[in-house]
Chains A and B, each alone.
Chain A
């Protein structure tokens, strides 16, 4: 098997594992997960805003 094909198949298995894991969460866990992700998303956007502001300052 070519290495790229093996890597592609690995990636597909990994995505399948994650999908099963996320689907198996209880409703309570899913709500907690959404809340954690919302916080992470806000932090991610703050990081991007800061990077764009730094870009503007440099130019």
Chain B
């Protein structure tokens, strides 16, 4: 996986993208014990094309030159399925900006902080995303005050209520 992170770092160094950070299930693996599929979610600041359309061609070209193979809307790179996801809203943009840099087998990698992993999961709103937030809370790997502030700032109260209900139901069983 470090080859994938190195390739993402080169995208930044070569000005193909401004910045990236790992989120989703792989991002969560840095903090919690949870089963996960092997896909890697890399959220990027995407330059706006003059047409106003989403255009990842420069990213795909650079990753193809790194040995990647485009498969619909993701890339297989060094044996790992890599999703390039965009800074589609202010929460994701803030999560990318505030990501933490870690050393993964000698390669720097930027990873969402746990509170942002939870907030983005709340925003995505699928059952598996809510379960991931429950795991962060249960494993005490999140600063609850910071998460509460994000929930308030980005209007995620409804999703957070569902997570609390799910957490209570889980603890009752």
Contact = CB atoms under 8 A, between A and B. Distances in A.
A3 to B, nearest CB: 6
A59 interface: no
B83 A15 contact: yes
Interface in A4-50: 4, 6-11, 13-18, 20-22, 33-34, 36-37, 40-41, 43-45, 47-48, 50
A47 B31 CA distance: 10
A3 B54 contact: yes
A7 to B, nearest CB: 4
A43 to B, nearest CB: 6
A4 B102 contact: no
Contacts of B104: 43-44, 47
A48 B31 contact: yes
B89 A8 contact: yes
Contact of B53 (A6, A14, A15): A6
A30 B103 CA distance: 28
B73 interface: yes
Interface stretch (B36-44, B146-154, B158-166): B36-44
B86 A37 contact: no
Interface in B21-42: 26, 29-31, 35-39
A10 B103 contact: no
Given A3-B52, A22-B39, A44-B104, A11 B72 contact: no
Contact of A41 (B29, B52, B73): B29
Given A40-B1, A50-B102, A50-B103, 7 more contacts: A1-B52, A7-B87, A17-B71, A18-B73, A21-B81, A44-B26, A48-B31
9 contacts: A6-B52, A7-B86, A7-B88, A11-B88, A14-B74, A14-B83, A17-B83, A44-B29, A44-B104
Interface of B: 1, 26, 29-31, 35-39, 46, 48, 52-54, 56, 71-74, 79, 81, 83-89, 100, 102-105, 109
